Amino acid sequence: MTSLDAGARRAILDACDSLRDESLDWLFRLVRCPSTLGNEASALNEMERLYRHLGLTPQRIPTDPAKLADHPGFSPPLIDYAGRDNVAAIHRPKAAKGRSLVLQGHVDVVPEGAADMWETPPYAPTIRGGRVYGRGAGDMKAGIVSYAMAFAALKRAGLQPAAEVQMQAVIEEECTGNGALATMLALPKADGVIIPEPGPGLDALYTAEVGVVWAWVTVSGRPAHVRDMQAGINAIEAANIIAGAFKDYEAERNRGENIHAAFHGVNHPVNVNLGTITGGEWNSSVATRCRIGLRVGVMLGYSARQTKADIEALVAKAATHERLRGAQVKLEFKGFLADACVFPKDTAISALAQRSYAEATGGTLRDYPATGLTDGRHFVLYQGTPCAVFGPDAQDIHGIDESVGVESIHGITRSIALTMAEWCGVEHA
């Protein structure tokens, strides 16, 4: 790493401050894109505009399951990838002197849920009480804007990174991670990675994350008129029996001896969630078919494939329940098949990020062993590239009235700008 003189530091931080309004403008533009699964095109197009605005040439990177299928980081996809290519752009210096860097973030968001429960519409971003509200504002469109504005700040200060900087806007962080995997494999290996994922109500540095497996169980019962319901097999009731069988498994995986040291002090880090249920045909008919979707957490030290085998055994056993006699049970794995990951704090990129944050904000990034997951695992587990995952204070992500702190966004922008300048070195733009 090259040292950064005091004048350059001041110029970069001043440039970050001058971009505050522009940052919010880009964030609003991205939040207005309802980029749920399969609908990411508007956000990807916006990222192309943003990269061009930074003076870079965007390129599209497809996600091809046939090319990824044998990779240990691949997850079974939910839908087709046509028309949903990831977007990347690469800054190349005049003379490469520093360390190369990846700045990455996902544009996909989870569904907004009951839109009528939001105080303001989920895709109509608003500022209230110093926070930007909207689906995806915190997770993680604010982080994307922060890394882009950090790069813009160097340019405004008359500088640019003296090493290659890749910017990556990817899809499916929320369900497979395949977009990030495809993009990582398509581009040169860098010396370090920054992913500005949000902190849990505070600015935070991810120190570890759980893995996740998605499973789908379809139960086909025996329909009957409700007056003869004892003659039928209710698929909805049967599916709920199977879902309930995961409670004991969840309790077992949260026993103290099964918790990795990285998660000591975290209450209930392994979560099993019944996320979706569809089934039945008529209120006065015994339901023929029901499908449930489950999200099963994976603790460090235990693999996603071990968890997959556990799920297979658990569903097979639950299918022998007396109330499922005569029912057909089908188990599928689509979506996450993701391993847990540690992000060591003492890597050069993480140590620099912490120091830069302290200088930029006067505060300290809080350690965050996450009970969710990020795309950072691909770089660490499968490429051996150190990755600093840290981002702004977000609240109610995946919930109602998701928001992110305005001052926190600017603090992360300043932090990334200093980190990039010192990691990559700088040259005159």
What does the alpha-carbon distance between residue 210 and residue 91 come to, in Å, rounded to a whole number? 33
Q: How far apart are CA 296 and CA 304, in angstroms?
A: 9
Spatial distance between the Cα atoms of 165 and 185, rounded to a whole number of angstroms: 16
Non-local CB neighbours of 422 within 8 Å, separated by 6+ positions: 1, 2, 3, 4, 352, 356
Contact indicator for 428, 158 with CB cutoff of 8 Å: yes
Taking the alpha carbons at both ends of the chain, their separation in whole angstroms is 19
What residues have CB less than 8 Å from 168, skipping those under 6 apart? 86, 87, 88, 102, 103, 104, 105, 180, 183, 184, 187
One digit per residue, the tens of pLDDT, for the chain of length 429 reads 567 899 999 999 999 999 999 999 999 999 999 999 999 999 999 999 999 999 999 999 999 999 999 999 999 999 999 999 999 999 999 999 999 999 999 999 999 999 999 999 999 999 999 999 999 999 999 999 999 999 999 999 999 999 999 999 999 999 999 999 999 999 999 999 999 999 999 999 999 999 999 999 999 988 776 767 676 789 999 999 999 999 999 999 999 999 999 999 999 999 999 999 999 999 988 899 999 999 999 999 999 999 999 999 999 999 999 989 899 999 999 999 999 999 999 999 999 999 999 999 999 999 999 999 999 999 999 999 999 999 999 999 999 999 999 999 999 999 999 999 999 999 999
From 142, 156, 144, select the one nearest 55 (Cα to Cα).
Answer: 156
Q: Which DSSP category does 341 fall into?
A: E
Find out whether 126 and 393 touch, Cβ atoms under 8 Å: no
> b or e along 296-315 (b: 16 or more beta carbons within 10 Å of the residue's beta carbon)?
bbbbbebbbeebbebbeebb
Buried b / exposed e over 213-232, threshold 16 CB at 10 Å, is bbbbbbbbbebbeeeeeeeb
The predicted pLDDT at position 422 comes to 97
54 burial level (CB within 10 Å; 0-12, 13-18, 19+): middle
Instruction: Give 342-392 as a DSSP string.
Output: E--TTSHHHHHHHHHHHHHHSS-PEEEEESS--THHHHHHHH---EEEEE-
CA atoms of 71 and 181, how far apart (whole Å)? 9
Q: The whole model's pTM is what?
A: 0.96
Closest C-alpha to 104, from 125, 90, 123:
90
Cα four-point dihedral sign 125, 127, 129, 130 = positive
Amino acid of residue 298: V
**pLDDT value at position 285?**
87
Q: For residue 279, give Cα distances in angstroms to 80, 221, 236, 316.
A: 24, 11, 6, 20
Return d(Cα 48, Cα 58) in angstroms, integer: 6
Question: Is the separation of the CB atoms in 164 and 188 below 8 Å?
Answer: yes
Q: What pLDDT, on a 0 to 100 scale, did the predictor assign at position 141?
A: 98
